[in-house]
């Protein structure tokens, strides 16, 4: 058998919708050797990781942990645990990820009501209120940061509407956590999940997850166990709490990385980190404006960690992205669904959100266009 060559992938400046760059500090801790999942030192590590997660989520929720799996595992855990067959689930669909929620929920037998907005606009509060007036629902879900469209969903006042109708509020925070203000308790969110590879600046593979006391009460009232064994919060919680009951073997390397990413976010300071993401996005927006290139989303709804850039007329979309990758080592992404061929998606997340990266992208675009 022929021997395969040493691994040799090209370095890239990751300015797409995720994964984002991982700092050397995070990479370094990943080489720490594994330790047993019931070792007292590992259990102390988990307690500390949970405390860091609560601080970054801005919550007191006891049920706060990191699931083994990517952001989509967080989405599936939210849906599988909080919905039972026949439960009505209202989903804001204004991009790719709202549709993914609908697909998942239908597989668990939920009755899905979509409330829609064009790709590039947020869901309006009146739409949520109207859907709840038409009948009771178990849960309402919104995508806080729509990575497919570059829209930041305003959540002010949403929890009051949802809770007033007796429903739970679920929010996808995959691209918002540690990049824009996320305050779980203050926003009244009951179920939220994120991912490690967007604004947290760690490699992909874990899904930070948090549940409000109201959410926990709903879990306890389930008629049947969650249909997804691997993501069943009732059993996973028994490993993270005092019981320390084995469920599955967590990846130590990924947890070491998450802990370091959380520490870096808190050392920087959440307010300062949010401000950095915004300032760098504004720098990108201003530089593009100078080039007469416009953006897809209205300024008041723009998401600093992900910008959708209108592809100028007559420009070869895949050709430009190929040259950015091959000649400048820069990754950006194209559009999905209705935005395919119409926008580029530029991510400025976590360790990738740096002024020099934007300067490099603008310089490259000037040369190519
Ligand atoms: C990336 C993303 C997901 C999916 O996360 P994976 O880690 O790719 O599974 C879900 N929701 C949003 C808003 C995302 O940006």
Same domain, 61 and 210: yes
Tell me the chain's radius of gyration from C-alpha atoms.
21
Q: Are 108 and 220 found together in one domain?
A: yes
pLDDT at 1: 66
Q: Is position 150 within any domain?
A: yes
CA 351 to centroid of ligand 1, rounded, Å: 18
Cis peptide before 71 (omega within 30 of 0): no
Query: Is 6 a domain residue?
Result: no
Determine if ligand 1 sits within 6 Å of the CB of residue 200: no
148 lines ligand 1 (CB under 6 A): no
Tell me, using a 6 A CB cutoff, whether residue 194 lines ligand 1: no
Q: Are 183 and 229 within one domain?
A: yes
89 within ligand 1 shell (Cβ under 6 A): no
Do 261 and 273 have their domain in common? no
118 and 233 both lie in a single domain: yes
- What is the predicted pLDDT for the residue at 124? 98
Do 207 and 273 have their domain in common?
no
CA of 174 from ligand 1 middle (Å) equals 6
Q: Where is the domain boundary, 248, 266, 284?
A: 266
With a 6 A CB cut-off, is 97 part of the ligand 1 pocket?
yes
Whether residue 1 lies inside any domain: the answer is no
Atom of ligand 1 nearest to the CA of 18: 1
The answer to whether residue 4 sits within a structural domain is: no
Measured CA to CA, the distance from residue 145 to residue 127 in angstroms comes to 18
The pLDDT tens digits of the residues spanning 272-307 come to 999 999 999 999 999 999 999 999 999 999 999 999
In a domain, 262, yes or no: yes
76 lines ligand 1 (CB under 6 A): no
In angstroms, what is the span from residue 196 Cα to ligand 1's centroid? Answer: 10
What is the 3-state composition of the chain as percent helix, strand, coil, each rounded to the nearest 5? 45, 15, 40
Within 8 A by CB and 6+ apart from 312, the residues are 292, 293, 369
Q: Tell the burial category of 194 from Cβ atoms under 10 Å away from its Cβ (0-12, 13-18, 19+).
A: buried
Q: Do 68 and 211 fall into the same domain?
A: yes
**Tens of pLDDT along 105-128?**
999 999 999 999 999 999 999 999
Query: Domain check: are 158 and 176 in the same one?
Result: yes
Would you tell me how many other CB atoms lie within 10 Å of the CB of residue 39?
12
Share of the chain above pLDDT 90, in %: 99
> How far, in Å, are 9, 53, 194, 195, 217 from residue 241 at the CA level?
40, 15, 21, 22, 16
Contact indicator for 305, 180 with CB cutoff of 8 Å: yes
pLDDT for residue 2:
77
Residue 176 within any structural domain of the chain: yes
- Does the beta carbon of 68 lie inside 6 Å of ligand 1? no
Residue 56 lies in a domain: yes
Picking from 314, 313, 332, the residue whose alpha carbon sits closest to that of residue 322 is 332
Domain of residue 143 covers: 24-266
Whether residue 54 is found in the same domain as residue 181:
yes
**Which residue is associated with the tokens 């109708």?**
165
Nearest atom in ligand 1 to 175's CA: 15
- In whole angstroms, give the CA distance from residue 188 to residue 52: 20
Q: Indicate which CATH number applies to the domain containing 321.
A: 3.90.1150.10
Cα–Cα distance, 317 to 324 (Å, whole number): 11
Residues in the chain, pLDDT under 50: none
- In the listed set 207, 232, 266, which residue is the last one of a domain according to the structure? 266
CATH number of the domain enclosing 172: 3.40.640.10
Q: Which DSSP string corresponds to 229-261? A: STT-HHHHHHHHSTT----S---HHHHHHHHHH
Measured from the CB, is residue 20 less than 6 Å from ligand 1?
no
Distance CA 243, CA 321 (A): 50
Q: Say yes or no: CB of residue 70 within 6 Å of ligand 1.
A: yes
Structural domain ending residue among the three candidates 242, 266, 290: 266
3-state secondary structure of 189: coil
Domain count for the chain, please give it: 2
Cα 69 to ligand 1 centre (Å): 11
Same-domain status, 143 and 33: yes
> Residue 220: what pLDDT?
97
Do residue 153 and residue 229 come from a single domain?
A: yes
Considering the domain architecture, whether residues 283 and 328 belong to the same structural domain is answered as yes
5 domain-assigned:
no
């Amino acid at each position: 058998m022929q021997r395969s060559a040493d691994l040799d992938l090209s370095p890239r400046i990751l300015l797409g919708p995720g994964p984002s760059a991982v700092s050397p500090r995070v990479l370094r801790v990943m080489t720490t050797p594994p330790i047993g999942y019931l070792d007292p030192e590992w259990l102390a590590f988990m307690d500390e990781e949970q405390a860091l997660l609560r601080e970054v989520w801005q919550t007191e929720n006891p049920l706060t942990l990191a699931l083994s799996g990517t952001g989509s595992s967080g989405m599936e855990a939210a849906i599988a645990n909080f919905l039972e067959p026949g439960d009505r689930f209202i989903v804001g669909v204004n991009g790719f990820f709202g549709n993914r929620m609908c697909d998942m929920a239908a597989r668990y037998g939920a009755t899905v009501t979509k409330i829609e907005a064009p790709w590039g606009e947020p869901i309006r509060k009146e739409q949520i209120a109207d859907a709840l007036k038409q009948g009771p629902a178990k849960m309402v879900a919104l995508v806080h940061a729509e990575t497919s469209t570059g829209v930041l969903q305003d959540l002010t006042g949403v929890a009051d509407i949802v809770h007033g109708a007796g429903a739970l509020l679920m929010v996808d925070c995959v691209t918002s956590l540690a990049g824009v203000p996320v305050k779980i308790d203050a926003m009244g969110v009951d179920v939220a999940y994120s991912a490690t590879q967007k604004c947290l600046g760690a490699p992909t593979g874990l899904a930070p997850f948090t549940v409000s006391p109201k959410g926990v009460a709903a879990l306890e009232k389930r008629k049947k166990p969650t249909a997804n064994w691997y993501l069943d919060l009732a059993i996973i919680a028994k490993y993270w709490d005092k019981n320390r009951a084995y469920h599955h073997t967590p990846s130590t390397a990924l947890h070491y990385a998450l802990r370091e990413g959380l520490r870096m976010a808190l050392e920087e300071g959440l307010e300062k980190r949010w401000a950095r993401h915004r300032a760098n996005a504004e720098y990108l927006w201003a530089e593009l404006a100078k080039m007469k290139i416009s953006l897809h989303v209205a300024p008041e709804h723009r998401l600093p960690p992900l910008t959708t850039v209108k592809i100028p007329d007559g420009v070869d979309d895949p050709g430009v992205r190929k040259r950015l990758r091959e000649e400048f080592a820069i990754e950006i992404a194209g559009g999905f669904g209705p935005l395919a061929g119409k926008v580029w998606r530029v991510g400025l997340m976590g360790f990738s959100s740096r002024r020099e990266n934007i300067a490099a992208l603008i310089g490259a675009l000037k040369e190519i266009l």
